[in-house]
Amino acid sequence: MLAALISRVRALRAGPAPAPLPALERPAPIEGADIADFDTCPRENRRTPHAMRADGSRRCFRCGHETPGQDS
**Does residue 64 form part of some domain?**
yes
**Does residue 6 form part of some domain?**
no
Range of the domain at 37: 33-72
- Each residue's pLDDT tens digit, 34-61: 788 999 999 999 999 999 988 889 999 9
Q: What are phi and psi of 2, to 5 degrees?
A: -65, -40
Report for 8-17, 20-29, 50-59: range of highest mean pLDDT: 50-59
**Does residue 53 form part of some domain?**
yes
Nearest to 48 by CA among 35, 60, 59: 60
Give the model's pLDDT for residue 63: 94
Spatial neighbors of 46 by CB under 8 A, at least 6 apart, are: 40
**Does residue 52 form part of some domain?**
yes
Alpha carbon distances (Å) from 2 to 11, 12, 13, 15: 14, 15, 17, 21
**Does residue 2 form part of some domain?**
no
By percentage, how much of the chain surpasses pLDDT 70?
90
Domain count for the chain? 1
